[in-house]
Amino acid sequence: MRIAIIGSGYVGLVSGVCFAAKGNDVTCVDLRKDIVAQLNVGVPHIHERGLPELLKSVLASARFRATTDVHSSIETAEIALIAVGTPSENGAIDLNAVRQCARQIGAYLATSPHHLSVVVKSTVIAGTTDTMVRQELEHSSGKKLGAFGLGMNPEFLREGEAIEDFMEPDRIVLGHEDERTLVRLQELYAPWNCDKVRVNTRTAEMIKYANNAILATQISIVNEVANLCAAIGGVDALDVMRGVHLDKRWSPITSFGRLAPQILTYLVPGCGFGGSCLPKDVQALRTQGESLGLPMDMLNAVLDVNAAQSGQIVSTLERKFGTLSGRRTLVLGLSFKPDTDDVRESASIKIVRDLLRAEAQVKCYDPLAAENFKLAIGSAANRIQFSSDWRHEIEWAEIVIIATRAQEYGELTSLQVAGKTVFDARRLIDPAAVPTADYLTIGRRLN
């Protein structure tokens, strides 16, 4: 199948190379000439495990290319996927890029008899595709729906696992406003053997938001319970959650033994959720609800708990030390999760800002995200030392904070940490493995 993908960011590029790997002919569009040039020689501009190898493979097979020209990309395409960014503006999503894409595609359709299915893959609130996108296409083309197709196909990609998630999905949502687009989407996804949900575009849009809002709610309720456990004393929230996990509705018991679904990883105490999806999507859903006169009390609470959660680290350390002024502190992990360079809404930004306000001496380490972190934290970066080898910093540090759950930080148990304070904000290591250190975490009161 011939596909044009407008936008070669995280979603667009991963989708493009994966569709090409399945035998489709794919053209990715990006306005940035330097990005297009990079992609056409096999150099991705985003970090994602397995992406460089897959990009080189589909380029070699001549099934993938990049261009800056929207019209040339869609003149032979059967489907045009809109995969541009929808950044957050005061809690609402900014649809300007989606709107501009629809106008450009509509301008092409105005001069061509070609029937094209326009499918939104960007994350947009319910009611966007069948109103704003449709209106822009109809106005720019002078044609009505039917002369072109319209659909919505949300993505469910986890950063660091995006190639696997795309190639081995748990479900595919086929949102459509016309039968011809549904047929094309079914053909496009025919190689995938998984549940396929066929719905209208509004339902497809809402599935994406509901999915992320419910995941975020689980994280926030667990963190609120963890904070209560710490306040009560004599209770470890991780032990509490292990007991909760054994409920057969979370971990079904089968003839092969007990299952441990991945959803349980969202039911562990920590320092909050971040990234490009959960915070933005929960905020957008709340904003949409409030615009319709709904109070959205639950989503407000989810966001409030999450906003305050990273503050647990410094407040706990201040209860222990009295003051952090001058304390030598090493922060391990700057991205919002391991194996990515994405620092958007990362808890580490808040943790480091809190440490600097407390006048601690701060060193940071991350194998991928240091440069993005410097940009995100701005001028405060001048007060931070960024290390290229965290293991060599252990002797210097009085306090070590594990801020992301990267497995390499588990090596801390084999290093000399006697007399140091280890704050394991992600419950990565067993406290018994660092018996000579003062082990602190979220969800357990100081001894």
Catalytically active residues, by annotation: 277
Closest CA to 221 of 277, 269, 167, 166: 269
**188 and 24 Cβ atoms separated by less than 8 Å:** yes
Closest CA to 390 of 378, 379, 372, 402: 402
**5 and 26 Cβ atoms separated by less than 8 Å:** yes
- Per the annotation, does 280 bind a ligand? yes
Cα→Cα distances 381→349, 397, 399, Å: 11, 19, 19
Closest CA to 23 of 38, 3, 49: 3
Helix (H, G, I), strand (E, B) or coil at 5: strand
Taking CA 403 as the corner, what is the angle to CA 369 and CA 320, rounded to the nearest 5 degrees? 140
In angstroms, rounded to a whole number, what is the distance separating the alpha carbons of residues 11 and 158?
10
DSSP string, 343-400: -TT-HHHHHHHHHHHTT-EEEEE-TTTHHHHHHHHGGGGGGEEE-S-GGGGTTT-SEE
Amino acid letter at 7? G
Closest CA to 3 of 96, 82, 101, 74: 74
- Per the annotation, does 173 bind a ligand? no
- Per the annotation, does 324 bind a ligand? no
In angstroms, rounded to a whole number, what is the distance separating the alpha carbons of residues 279 and 97?
20
- Per the annotation, does 155 bind a ligand? no
Residues in the chain: 447
Helix (H, G, I), strand (E, B) or coil at 137: helix
Cα→Cα distances 146→111, 118, 149, 225, Å: 16, 11, 6, 52
- Per the annotation, does 157 bind a ligand? yes
- Per the annotation, does 274 bind a ligand? yes
- Per the annotation, does 266 bind a ligand? yes
- Per the annotation, does 268 bind a ligand? yes
In angstroms, rounded to a whole number, what is the distance separating the alpha carbons of residues 279 and 282?
5
In eight-state DSSP terms, residue 23 is T
Amino acid letter at 186? Q
The residues, any chain, with a CB within 8 Å of residue 15's CB and separated by 6 or more, are: 5, 81, 83, 121, 155, 166
- Per the annotation, does 320 bind a ligand? no
- Per the annotation, does 344 bind a ligand? yes
Paired residues of 176 in beta bridges: 151
171 φ/ψ angles, rounded to the nearest 5 degrees: -165, 160
- Per the annotation, does 156 bind a ligand? yes
- Per the annotation, does 158 bind a ligand? yes
- Per the annotation, does 128 bind a ligand? no
- Per the annotation, does 159 bind a ligand? yes
Binding site for NAD(+), by residue number, is 30, 86, 123, 159, 280, 344
The binding site consists of 30, 86, 123, 156-159, 208, 266-270, 274, 280, 337, 344
Binding residue numbers for substrate: 156-159, 208, 266-270, 274, 337
